[in-house]
Amino acid sequence: MASERTLAIVKPDAVARGLTGTLLARIESEGLRIVALRMVRLSPREVEGFYAVHRDKPFFSPLVAFMTSGPSVLAVLEGEDAIRRWRACMGATDPMEADEGTIRRTYAESKQRNAVHGSDGPSSAAFEIGWFFRGLDLA
Ligand code: ATP
Ligand code: MG
């Protein structure tokens, strides 16, 4: 399996609760390398474009409100099989369905306020990294 890159977000619920350091340490303890990092309060336009695949879902508008409610931490992670490994570490979208020991099982407040994001495949990873890091340096 070749090295690959994925986009991770520490979402506003987790940043507001002071979990940024804990979650970045968790990423590194999983053996994933952080190759780019930004802390930013996302605009509605940025979130709408980022989550465009969900624009027709009933949860879209509240999702945009949540993701713009405070700062997020955006990171590009690199490693062997990084996309699948980061998704496994995060756990299922709904913390009630997430496996014991996963980030969402441990820290998520609800299906919406679920602490972290991870790209779900190679094409979404390429799109998402470009969306937030185009033209910026990756280590
Ligand atoms: P993410 O893309 O953020 O990593 P995911 O891939 O596990 O999450 P998606 O189906 O892509 O899940 O949904 C994107 C985000 O929208 C979720 O992480 C969550 O914050 C929110 N969301 C998804 N489904 C619901 C729902 N039924 N009710 C409320 N919020 C939801
Ligand atoms: Mg998703």
- Does residue 59's CB lie within 6 angstroms of at least one atom of ligand 1? yes
3-state secondary structure of 40: strand
CB neighbour list of residue 102: distance below 8 Å, 6 or more residues apart: 88, 89, 90, 91, 92
State both tokens at 134: 């185009």
Ligand 1 pocket: which of 47, 93, 114, 128 to mutate (most atoms within 8 A of CB) = 93
Q: What is the CATH number of domain 3-132?
A: 3.30.70.141
| Cβ contact 21:29 at 8 Å | no
What separation in Å is there between the alpha carbon of 79 and the centre of ligand 1?
A: 24
Could you give the angle at the alpha carbon of 68 between the alpha carbons of 67 and 69, nearest 5°? 95
- Does residue 11's CB lie within 6 angstroms of at least one atom of ligand 1? no
pLDDT at 86: 98
- Does residue 72's CB lie within 6 angstroms of at least one atom of ligand 1? no
What separation in Å is there between the alpha carbon of 37 and the centre of ligand 1?
A: 22
Could you give the angle at the alpha carbon of 46 between the alpha carbons of 41 and 51, nearest 5°? 115
Instruction: Write the single-letter amino acid at 117.
Output: H
Question: Where exactly are the structural domains of the chain?
Answer: 3-132
Which residue pairs from 122-126 have beta carbons closer than 8 angstroms and sit at least 24 positions apart in sequence?
122/4, 122/83, 125/4, 125/5, 125/6, 125/7, 125/83
For residue 90, what pLDDT band results from cuts at 50, 70 and 90? very high
pLDDT tens digit string along 44-69? 999 999 999 999 999 999 999 999 99
Q: How many CB atoms lie within 10 A of CB 51?
A: 17
Instruction: Write the single-letter amino acid at 53.
Output: V
pLDDT tens digit string along 109-139? 999 999 999 999 999 999 999 999 998 777 6
pTM attached to this predicted model: 0.97
- Does residue 97's CB lie within 6 angstroms of at least one atom of ligand 1? no
Residue showing tokens 């990873």: 125
Ligand 1 pocket: which of 13, 47, 53, 63 to mutate (most atoms within 8 A of CB) = 63
